[in-house]
Amino acid sequence: MSSAFIIFTMQSGFGLLESGMVSRKNEVNIMVKNVVDVIFGGLSFWAFGYAFAFGDSPSSNAFCGIGRFFTDATQPEMGTIFSKFFFQLSFATTAVTIVSGAMAERTKLESYCLFSSLGILVYCFPAHWVWAENGWLATLGAVDIAGCGVVHVVGGVTGLVATIILKPRIGRFNCSKPLSMGSPVTAILGLFVLWWGWLGFNCGSTFGITGEKWQLAARAAVNTLSASIGGGIFAFSYSYARYNRKVDVSYVVVGILGGLVSVTGICPLARPWESILIGTIGGVLSCFGRNLIQKLKIDDPTGCLAAHILSGIWGLVSVGFFTEVDNLEHFSTINGVLKGGNGWLLGIQLLTVVALIAWSAAVSFILLMILNKLVGLRVTEEEENLGCDAVEHEMDYRKTENTKQMKAIIGLNMFLNSKI
């Protein structure tokens, strides 16, 4: 439960990071959409998401769970059911929140509310496949401890589909200067909140500290930090070299996120030096993947899709290389290739990558196209130029700027009068 509380703070981290990455005229809107993910996505997860992911009735099968719709529990099982529900709710809303950054600055709020409600369908079935005892990937031996595939690959691919359907923002690829960040300070603050939340994300996925689990939780904490160090050092160095001894904040943010995502699937099962290597490769993939997405003229406002997709894929694959048999809680009973394994685990991890990408791409495309036909996804050109804060929330920054200017003029006049 303590880890679930920490994970819940990641919503504020994503909100701050995304609002710092987008233009100032859309920062309130992106924060509101993170609230939407919790209230609308949370309602859907309570009504049917948890049932499809972890329902335990006799009708449950390898593809989906059945039972526990409108989640409730009787007194003898309240602790088990409610703690698991709350913990998994934090994961589900995180997966949906990833999409909000990709759809930023040009999506109708009403449409996003509908997608946030329905987007839980994209997440809950892969969660069952990998994390439920009778899930078809789980029975094959797939390992994804804290969701580098179930959360980040699924969320990232869904975001990629969304941004392709929405098309680029006005002026994104036909202006001489790139669109600037609204507030680098806010983005970095969001990164620190996410960093904190990730420790709960990964340590909590050992599902407790009883028995021998505390040892795995401790290792997960060290490995999480180690991977972020590797990704951050690469991103810092890459930016420093590319921009002639200048450090681009957005690359540092993306590189650290890439390191964190990549170790999420293996956090309690690798050694610290391996985690640094995994995180460094995650940082490489997120930075160069971001460049590739830009060259393909796919508009990713926050620049984080590569960190979730490519680093998430690498995280799943790295399990097949570096995992060592867990004799404490039996998260994995098969060694990775570099630990003497025969390649079975690596093959299952690759199958998991394909299954998660195919599912999330297909289902999110269908949902988004239906919403686009019924209610429309994108704001008008005039509304986009005004900014979603003004259109959706009646925030008029022009008045704010005029007020600041008037205060400055009044202050200057008072100063001059005092000197006369």
Q: Which amino acid is at 98?
A: I
Closest of 355, 360, 376, 388 to residue 99, by C-alpha: 360
Token pair belonging to 339: 């630990």
Token pair belonging to 86: 């709350």
Chain-centroid distance, C-alpha 232: 17
Helix/strand/coil percentages in the chain, nearest 5: 70, 0, 25
Name which residue leads in pLDDT, 215 or 291: 291
pLDDT at residue 5, as a whole number = 81
> Is residue 234 predicted with pLDDT exceeding 90?
yes
Residue 365 banded pLDDT, cuts 50, 70, 90 = very high
Which residue's structure tokens are 């925030």? 395
pLDDT at residue 324, as a whole number = 87
Category of 57 on φ-ψ map: left (φ > 0), alpha (ψ -120 to 50) or beta: beta
Token pair belonging to 102: 């990709």
Q: Under CATH, which number does the domain 1-411 receive? A: 1.10.3430.10
> Is residue 178 predicted with pLDDT exceeding 70?
no
pLDDT at residue 326, as a whole number = 76
Domain residue extents for the chain = 1-411
Full DSSP string of 107-146: B-HHHHHHHHHHTHHHHHHHHHHHHSTT-HHHHHT---SS
Token pair belonging to 163: 């941004």
Q: Which amino acid is at 391?
A: V
Category of 169 on φ-ψ map: left (φ > 0), alpha (ψ -120 to 50) or beta: beta
